[in-house]
Amino acid sequence: MRGLAMHSKTEEKEIFPLFIASTVHDIKNALSGVLGELENFTERMDNDNEEDRHMVAVLQYEAARINVSLMQLLTLYKMDNENLGITVMPTDVFELAEDTIAGFQNIARLKQLSILNQTPEELVWNCDSSLIEICLTNIIGNSVRYCDQKVAVDAQTVENAGHSYLCLAIEDDGRGYPQAMIENSAQYIRRISSRTGSTGLGLYFADTVARLHQNNQHRGFIRLSNEASLGGGRFEIWLP
């Protein structure tokens, strides 16, 4: 009986990311099946059973949150190993925000929250809508977790350094970002916190996607602040 072939350290370093990506892909497919079954269960469920509706809404929210993290990991892997670029097309920003918000309606009803779409209805911008939707889903999900009662999505065109940008923002009425996080956002984007359990993946992904959007020498970027009109934290992604 022949034993398994041994791999060199270099080969192991090349193979290991492939195993991780393949495993993440399998988990994501399985999770998509779970989300589908939850949706089917919701349609058959007794609307008067508040306890069941509460349980399903929480499961949908947490499963969707994990699914977004897996999508971010897979996309980052493809960007790094398969030279995946972005697909920039004219995008209806209002519809993009509306579609993203729709995924949070169950948990919003459960927590008695308002998620407002304050983007102009006729605003169109060139961007990769699929990647931006992943960013918005992650940030809105965090806002839903930490807000008191309200989350809002807004967008506007802004002149910055003599160039036009789309500023797409999510804000809430929670406690806001820690001041150290705002002052050292570049470090937080690439740092795992054992104290809070934060991996920084969402900010890292959003920062990467923003920078991939480029118009001549102008690149996109993200910005964190506690200058929200609702009184809490405000996340902005700027796209040239």
- Number of Cα atoms under 13 Å in the Cβ half of residue 176: 14
Q: Report the C-alpha gap between 131 and 201 in whole angstroms.
A: 14
In this prediction, residue 189 carries a pLDDT of 60
Helices 201-212 & 129-146 angle (0-180, nearest 10): 150
Closest CA to 21 of 86, 96, 71: 71
Q: Report the C-alpha gap between 86 and 214 in whole angstroms.
A: 10
Query: Beta partners for 126?
Result: 90
In this prediction, residue 15 carries a pLDDT of 62
Domain ranges for the chain = 9-81, 89-239
Structure tokens at 126: 């060139």
Q: Report the C-alpha gap between 75 and 203 in whole angstroms.
A: 14
pLDDT in tens, the chain (240 residues): 455 555 555 554 566 566 677 777 777 777 777 777 777 777 776 666 677 777 777 788 888 888 888 888 888 888 877 667 789 999 999 999 999 999 898 889 888 899 999 999 999 999 999 999 999 999 999 999 999 999 999 999 999 878 899 999 999 999 999 888 887 766 656 554 545 445 678 888 999 999 999 998 899 999 999 999 999 999 999 999
89-239 fold: Heat Shock Protein 90 (3.30.565)
Residue 116, phi then psi, degrees to nearest 5: -100, 135
End-to-end CA distance of the chain: 61
Structure tokens at 165: 């940008």
pTM check: above 0.85: no
Q: Report the C-alpha gap between 172 and 115 in whole angstroms.
A: 9
